[in-house]
Structure 1
Amino acid sequence: MADELPERLATVVRARRAALRLSQRDLADMAGVSERFVRFVEQGKPSVQLDSLMAVLQTLGLDLQVTGRASHASRAAPAAGNQGGAGA
């Protein structure tokens, strides 16, 4: 799953940049990152700096959402239920 994230981001960023008719250089200038960084994101490189990635996404009008996996949520649910206390 984690291996898929860089490629999914690459696909979304490439598509959005193309829809906005921006070159990689244009996007880099607008986001305050290097053109090389934009290229790395669009190539799905697995190690990119989060702050720079967030600048690119913000420039493109995109958000990054982090959600829990179902397997983790089901394990965490009983613990969360116990935190409310009696009568809550």
Structure 2
Amino acid sequence: MNVCPHKGAPLCEGPQCGTTAWDGGGKFISCRDNEIVRCAWHGWEFDIRSGASLVDPDVKARTFPVTVEGGNVFVLA
């Protein structure tokens, strides 16, 4: 479903993006380009493949298997 588990926002309104992470040496770096969907309402970030929240992996957005055939995306619900 197209629902953020935090407050029910439609996840399709948020960007597909990357995130930032600490590099272990005192800097934040950009990483995981196009692997994250960010909720447009409150900024919660979810892994596109697993649906897991980056902050608390026990909180998950619902995911569905998909295939791409001839440029068409099929959702296998």
User: Under a length normalisation based on structure 2, what TM-score does the superposition of the two structures give?
Assistant: 0.26
The structure where helix makes up a greater share of residues is 1
Higher-Rg structure is: 1
Report 1 or 2 for greater relative contact order, CA contacts < 8 Å, sequence distance ≥ 6: 1
TM-score scaled to structure 1, two decimals?
Answer: 0.24
